[in-house]
Chains A and B, each alone.
Chain A
C-alpha cells in the first residue's frame, strides 16, 4: 500500500465545509476553540462571516446550533468527539434531538487514534451515546472521499446528524469519480461466502487488508463498510448472516454500544448467527503513537484476520 494516499477525515471535514459554503448559503459553522484541530479553520478562512467561535463552551455551542437550526440555518457544531458526544450529551439530547432540529455535529478526534493526548481525549463511547438518542443519524466515514460525500448528504438531509471524523490519516480507497454515498446503505467492498467482516470508519481499510490475508489461508471473507451506523442497513446485515453464517465486526470504539452492538441487535432479531466484536474492550486508552495504539488494541488487519480464523474454527 506504499502508493496509497492518506488523509485524515478531519481534513476532509474542513475542506468539504469550505468547498460547500457558496452552494449552501444557510450553512453556518460553529467551533469551540478547536478550529485549528477540527479543521473548521479552513471554512473560517473561506467564509469568515458564517463562522462563529463559541470558545471553550461546548454545551452552549450545541444550544446555539439548535437555535440556529430552529431559525432555518444548517449549523455544523464542531469539536472533539469527547466533548460533542460526551460533555454535551444532554444538550444534544434535549436541545437538538428532542425537537429533532437540523443540526449537524462534526465530531473529530474520535477513538484511540487521537494518540499521544491519551485517555481523556480518546472517545470510544460516542457512537453508543448518540445511538440512544431517538432520531439521531450517525455517520462514520472511512476515507476522504466518503467523508466529503457524507457531509454533503448530511446537509441535504433534514434532521440531526452526528458525523464522526478521525485525527489520523486514513488510506483513501474510494474513487472520487465513481463513489456514491447513500445514507443508511452499507457497501459490500468484497464478496465472500465463509464469513462477513463488517467495519466502519478507520477500520474499513484494515478489514479489507485482513480479507486479503485470509484469502491466502483459504478463507473467503466478505467485507462490508457500514458508514451509517444509525439507521443501520438491516438488509445487508441479514443477507450476510444468512449467506456466510458468521459475522466479525470491527470498530475504533468500545465494543459496548457501537457498531458491533448495532449489528448484533439486527442479527439476534432477524437471523441469529455468531457475532464476534473487535473494538476497545471496556477499558480506557492511553498515550502513545496512534499506529502503535491501534496495534496494541487489536484494531489492525493482523488481529482481524487472527480473530476471524479463531471464529471460523468455532463455527
Chain B
C-alpha cells in the first residue's frame, strides 16, 4: 500500500469515527466501543476493497457485507455515509423515531446487505449469500464481521461447519478481537479462546492482523483472496474504543453514549488526528 492511500484511509477512518461519536451522542444510546474497533476495517473494505456502487446499492454483482455484530451499526452507517450511500446528516437522527437508521442494521437502508443484530445470525446469512454466489458462478465476495464475544453463540459454529463443508472460499469472516464484552474481558466471562485454533479446527484458513494498521489489513485481505477451497477467518487484534483516549480498552464504553462534555472531548481528539493526517 502506498503512503498516499494509507494516509487517505487513515483520514477517512477518522471521519468514520467522528460519525460514530456523532450518531451515538445524538441517539443518547448505542455502542461506540466496538464501532471504533472496526472503523479501520470497514473503511478499508468500503474504500479499498469492496466492489460497491452507492448509486446502485442493490447491484447483483456487488460484494456483500453482513455486520453480524450488528450493535456496531454506527460504524457501518458512518462508513456508508462517507462512501455516499446516504447523507452524513442521517447519522444525527440515528435511533430516533421515524429515522432511517435503526438501532441495528436493517436491510432496507441503502448499502446494508442484511438485517442483523441478534448475535450469531449474520455469519449464517453470509453463508447463504456465499452459497448463492457459488450457485450463480458469481465473482462477488461476502464479508461477515463478528465480535469475539459473539462467537460464544453456538450458531456461529454451525455456520463455521457449513462454510467449510461447502468450501465457501468466497466467504471471509472477520472476528473483531478487542477482548471485551459487556460483562468484562472475554477470557473472564466465558472464554471463546483459542479463537484461531477453533476456526482452523473447523477447516477454515485463519489469518491474524492488526486491526489499526492498514498495511497489516491490506496484507491480510490480499492473502485471503489467494485461498481456494476454504472459507477464510481473519482474526483482527483490535482496541475497543480505538481513536478516543478515554474510550480505549474500557468495557464501560461497550454500550454507552457520550454526554455533551465527552462528545466535545472525543470530537476534539478526532479533529486533531484528522488535521494531522490532512495537514
Contacts and interface: CB of A to CB of B under 8 A. Distances in A.
B166 interface: yes
A59 B126 CA distance: 13
Contacts of B33: none
Contacts of B130: 67
A223 interface: no
Contacts of B227: none
A142 interface: no
Which of B60, B155, B166 counts the most chain A CB atoms within 10 A? B155
B114 A64 contact: no
Given A67-B128, A67-B129, A57 B114 contact: no
A15 to B, nearest CB: 23
A151 to B, nearest CB: 21
B93 to A, nearest CB: 20
Given A28-B135, A55-B161, A63 B125 contact: yes
Given A70-B114, A71-B129, A95 B121 contact: yes
B115 interface: yes
A67 B155 contact: no
B60 A67 contact: no
Contact of B132 (A57, A60, A68, A99): A68
B97 to A, nearest CB: 18
Contact of B162 (A28, A50, A57, A99): A57
A68 B128 contact: yes
B158 A68 contact: no
Contacts of B135: 28, 50, 73
B148 interface: no
A70 B107 contact: yes
Which of A67, A68, A99 counts the most chain B CB atoms within 10 A? A67
B107 A68 contact: no
A70 B129 contact: yes
Contacts of A60: 124, 127, 155, 158-159, 161-162
B150 interface: no
Contacts of B66: 67
B117 interface: yes
Contact of A94 (B115, B133, B159): B115
A72 interface: yes
Nearest to A91: B121
Nearest to B126: A67
A94 B154 CA distance: 16
Contacts of B159: 60, 63-64
B125 A67 contact: yes
Interface string A51-89: 010110101111111111111110100000000000000
A72 B161 CA distance: 24
Contact of A64 (B115, B127, B154): B127
Given A60-B124, A63-B155, A98 B131 contact: no
A90 interface: yes
B113 interface: yes
B118 interface: yes
Contacts of A70: 107, 113-114, 125, 128-129, 132
B124 A64 contact: yes
Interface in A29-69: 50, 52, 54-55, 57, 59-69
A218 to B, nearest CB: 56
A59 B158 contact: yes
Interface in B96-135: 106-108, 113-118, 120-133, 135
A64 B125 contact: yes
B132 A63 contact: no
Nearest to B129: A67
A98 B159 CA distance: 20
B125 A95 contact: yes
Nearest to A90: B118
Contacts of A63: 121-125, 127-128, 155, 159
Which of B121, B125, B136, B154 counts the most chain A CB atoms within 10 A? B125
B128 A94 contact: no
Interface in A97-145: 98-99, 101
Contacts of B125: 63-64, 66-67, 70, 95
A254 B66 CA distance: 37
B105 to A, nearest CB: 10
A95 B66 CA distance: 11
Interface of A: 28, 50, 52, 54-55, 57, 59-73, 75, 90-91, 94-95, 98-99, 101
10 contacts: A52-B131, A64-B128, A67-B124, A67-B126, A67-B128, A67-B130, A69-B128, A71-B129, A72-B136, A94-B117
Given A55-B161, A55-B162, 7 more contacts: A57-B162, A60-B158, A61-B124, A66-B114, A66-B125, A67-B142, A72-B60
